Amino acid sequence: MIFPIRISKLMKQMNLKEFIKLRTLLLLITCLISFNQLEAQNIIFEEHFEEATLRFDYHHAGTDTSEVIYPEEYIKERYWSGSKKHLISPFDYGKYKVVIKDAETKTTIYSNGYSTLFMEWQTMPEAKKKKRSYYESVNVPFPKNKVIIEINSIDKSQKWTNIYSEEIDPADYFIKKEREFKYKVEEIQVNKSPNKALDILFIPEGYTVNEMDKFIADVTRLKSSLFKVSPFNKFKKSINIRAVLAPSEESGTDIPGQGIWKKTILNTNFYTFNSERYLTTKDIKAIKDIAGVSYYDQIYILVNTEKYGGGAIYNFYNLCTSDNKFTEEVFTHEFGHGLAWLADEYYYDDDMSSFYDKTLEPREENITTLVNFDKKWKNKLPKKLEIPTTASPKNINKIGVYEGAGYTSKGVYRAFQECKMKSNSTKEFCEVCEETIIKVLEYYRE
């Protein structure tokens, strides 16, 4: 209603020529605004994509301050399990972003965030001295027309840079189509269409062919433990769980610090970056080749050992061990990283860690440096709250600004004294973490 009145007032003050010029300009601005809204919201899946996956495998190489992408191969996979409604991720999560643009109009038609092991290696002392490469892989819906694939990376100053861009013709006969569907997929719980659910795929690591029943029993146990935890218990109907029966030659996994090496299907190992409990794998090709036999949004690798450990990288993979007394706690903690890009809320007393730049606001939702606290849980705080809030029995379960999070005891803060992202001693995610997970689960179920 306001717009026409203003126009009529302006008309009285201008001659016709000036008015037409202004009207043209306003129309152009309106069109641009609508175009941007269209770009953000109205991408029709069927116009741009087939119900299949385009998998892009590449090598990510560099040092602590440099990075480059070397393409390896494109593969067409049978399934697409992501949302068909939300094609452009609403989340500013992860160190990298894969973006698909229509080659003709240059319009963004798909984007998603993720993180990688390479990025963690870049923070290690070794990265200052030598170059290294990591195998990586991203999935996007299979395009119907020519598209441009872009990989963007955010640096320590939180500036995005394009590190890879290439035009892809979906008709290119070098896009590999052969797939080996030699592994059976067991449906542990399938409640909804893959496009309207979070699809978790469990892959066994270090389970022999005779231990497949144990694997299914372990997955079933972890499924039950997931649905004991909020908010997962409220989203049971929009979470699908499947398990691939992919046996290893030997039981267990590699423990380099103890000279133990096992022949396993995903080549996982403890002692990642010399941290005994940090269990990961660099064999992304093996993971993705196995995962391609099923629908999946999240890969959970279950490692057949009693040893304490795990790891997770956002939208990349999650890992935990099967038979430790803390298995259930580690399982959900790691999923907080892999699914919702939650930061670790624990910290070390020596305060030597410089993982987070304290002059910038961390991008993860559950920690703050107070640099831009408005973006975080500030609006949930009671009036006249002491900052930092004292961690004491009196304040247990009370929202505040508790110092110590993100591996450092000074200058990085968390919202609650206890949370699953802080320790194994609590069974619940804090309110801030829970809300973040809810946003992600809602994104998958629509």
By the criterion CB under 5 A, which residues form the site for Zn ion?
366, 419, 421, 430, 433
Number of H helices, E strands in the chain: 9, 16
**Of 330 and 433, CB closest to Zn ion:** 433
HSE, CB side, 13 Å, CA atoms: give it for residue 193: 9
Closest contact distance (angstroms) between CB of 436 and Zn ion is 8
Cα separations in angstroms, 392 against 39, 354, 379, 417: 49, 26, 22, 8
- Nearer to Zn ion (CB atom), residue 291 or residue 421: 421
What are the residues whose beta carbons fall under 8 Å from the beta carbon of 28, sequence distance 6 or more? none
Q: How far is the CB of 293 from Zn ion (least distance, A)?
A: 35
DSSP 261-295: ----SS--BS-BTTBTTB-B-S-HHHHHHHHTTS-
| Residues whose CB falls within 8 Å of the CB of residue 410, separated by 6 or more in sequence, listed in order | 351, 403, 404
CB of 68 to Zn ion, least distance (A): 35
Q: CB of residue 382 vs Zn ion: minimum separation in angstroms?
A: 18
Residue placing its CB nearer to Zn ion in the complex, 117 or 419:
419
| Nearer to Zn ion among residue 302 and residue 433 (C-beta) | 433
Alpha carbon distance 345, 413 (integer Å): 8
Q: How far is the CB of 431 from Zn ion (least distance, A)?
A: 8
* Rounded least distance, CB 82 to Zn ion, Å: 26
The nearer residue to Zn ion, 435 or 442, going by C-beta atoms, is: 435
Pick 276 or 428: Cβ nearer Zn ion: 428
Spatial separation of the C-alpha atoms in residues 288 and 219, rounded to whole Å: 19
| Minimum separation from the CB atom of position 420 to Zn ion (A) | 7
Strands in 132-143's sheet, in edge-to-edge order, are 67-77, 49-62, 132-143
CB environment 35-50: b (16+ within 10 A), e (fewer): eeeeeeeebebeebbe
195-221 core/surface letters (b: 16 or more CB in 10 A; e: else): bebbbbbbbbbbbbeebbebbbebbee
Helix (H) or strand (E) holding 36: helix 16-41
Is residue 304 within 8 Å of 206, Cβ to Cβ?
Answer: yes
Instruction: Pick between residue 302 and residue 421 the one whose CB is nearest to Zn ion.
Output: 421
CB of 432 vs Zn ion, minimal distance in Å: 5
> 77 or 344: whose CB is closer to Zn ion?
344
DSSP assignment letter at 88: B
Closer to Zn ion by Cβ: residue 100 or 226: 226
Is the dihedral angle over the CA atoms 106, 144, 99, 130 positive or is it negative?
negative
Radius of gyration, CA atoms only, the chain: 24
As measured in angstroms, the least distance from the Cβ of 350 to Zn ion is: 23
Distance CA 241, CA 189 (A): 5
**Distance between CA atoms of 245 and 240, rounded to whole angstroms?**
17
Cβ 419 to Zn ion shortest distance, Å: 3
Of 226 and 433, nearer to Zn ion (C-beta) is 433
